[in-house]
């Protein structure tokens, strides 16, 4: 079945540091890949996505590239801010009967950015 | 526009009681998903509805869990004879067909 593995947290960085959160996946077929973010006290929000190999998703300074050869979708940001402190979830879509895309999530990585 | 809403935001119940959780999807979204977020299991898919098609129930953990979606809009997730391991945050998401999923704020269920 489908699975997502992401690096354990928590990750603590100083403001303006470079961020990488590793994510690898196992899936049949060609899933779409996502990063979701959960800010403290808020719901899950879609951060970025990529739908096919070599696509790069980007949003709010975050980027991730769909690497089929390494089955990876690592999240990066060049200069983090305190406001980026949140839990980040890597996910992939798998097909549901009836045409839906049920998501398989990683365990989440908590990021804390300090001044 | 209005996002996905869920009620109640918090629910505390006693072991063995039944609970109902409600989800109002974004207007016009045809697809609706339920997920569960718990400390032990992370984020798990539970069930998916799409229009009038038969739901995908493959993620429901036991027959104590059921869900329905009336009129292609509001959905209710019912847990019968709740157990302590059912304690979790239950998340609802909706989308247009197979598009991006938008999540509600969740219902935090605590079973004492």
Tell me the three-class secondary structure of chain B, residue by residue: CCCCEEECCEEEECCCCCEEEEEECCCCCCEEEEEEEECCCEEEEEEEEECCCCCECCCCCCCCEEEEEHHHCCEEEEECCCCHHHCEEEEEEEECCCCCCEECCCEEEEEC
From chain B, the residues in CB contact with A103 under 8 A are 33, 35, 43, 45, 101
Could you report the per-residue pLDDT of B19-28, keeping only the tens digit for each? 999 999 999 9
pLDDT the model gives residue A98: 62
In the structure, what pLDDT confidence band is assigned to residue A30 with cuts at 50, 70 and 90? confident
Minimum-distance CB partner of A100 among B43, B56, B91 = B56
pLDDT the model gives residue B108: 96
pLDDT (average), residues A44-48: 95
In the structure, what pLDDT confidence band is assigned to residue B13 with cuts at 50, 70 and 90? very high
pLDDT the model gives residue A99: 62
Could you report the per-residue pLDDT of B50-87, keeping only the tens digit for each? 888 889 999 999 999 999 998 879 999 999 999 999 99
Computed over every residue of chain A, the mean pLDDT equals 93
pLDDT at B1 over 60: no
pLDDT the model gives residue A42: 86
Burial of A31 (C-beta count, 10 Å sphere; 0-12/13-18/19+): buried
pLDDT (average), residues A14-22: 97
B104 in contact with chain A, both atoms CB, cutoff 8 A: yes
A87 in contact with chain B, both atoms CB, cutoff 8 A: no
Percentage of chain A exceeding pLDDT 70: 96
B35 in contact with chain A, both atoms CB, cutoff 8 A: yes
Computed over every residue of chain B, the mean pLDDT equals 93
pLDDT the model gives residue A7: 87
SS3 at position A19: strand
From chain B, the residues in CB contact with A46 under 8 A are 100-102
In the structure, what pLDDT confidence band is assigned to residue A97 with cuts at 50, 70 and 90? low
pLDDT at B40 over 80: no
Distance CA B62, CA B64 (A): 5
């Amino acid at each position: 079945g489908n699975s997502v593995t992401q690096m354990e947290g928590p990750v603590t960085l100083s403001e303006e540091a470079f961020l990488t959160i590793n994510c690898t996946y196992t899936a049949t077929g060609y899933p779409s890949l996502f990063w979701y973010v959960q800010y403290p006290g808020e719901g899950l929000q879609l951060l970025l996505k990529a739908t096919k190999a070599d696509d790069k998703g980007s949003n709010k300074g975050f980027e991730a590239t769909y690497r089929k050869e390494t089955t990876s979708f690592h999240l990066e940001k060049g200069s983090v801010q305190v406001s980026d402190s949140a839990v980040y979830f890597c996910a992939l879509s798998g097909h549901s009967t009836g045409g839906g895309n049920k998501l398989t999530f990683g365990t989440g990585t908590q990021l804390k950015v300090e001044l | 526009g209005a996002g996905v809403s869920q009620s109640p935001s918090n629910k505390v119940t006693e072991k063995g009681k039944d609970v109902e959780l409600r989800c109002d999807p974004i207007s016009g979204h045809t697809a609706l998903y339920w997920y569960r977020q718990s400390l032990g299991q992370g984020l798990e898919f539970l069930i998916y509805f799409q229009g009038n098609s038969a739901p995908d129930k493959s993620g429901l953990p036991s027959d104590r869990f059921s869900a329905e979606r009336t009129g292609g809009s509001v959905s209710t997730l019912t847990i019968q004879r709740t157990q302590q391991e059912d304690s979790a945050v239950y998340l609802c998401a909706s989308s247009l067909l197979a598009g991006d999923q938008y999540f509600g704020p969740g219902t935090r269920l605590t079973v004492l």
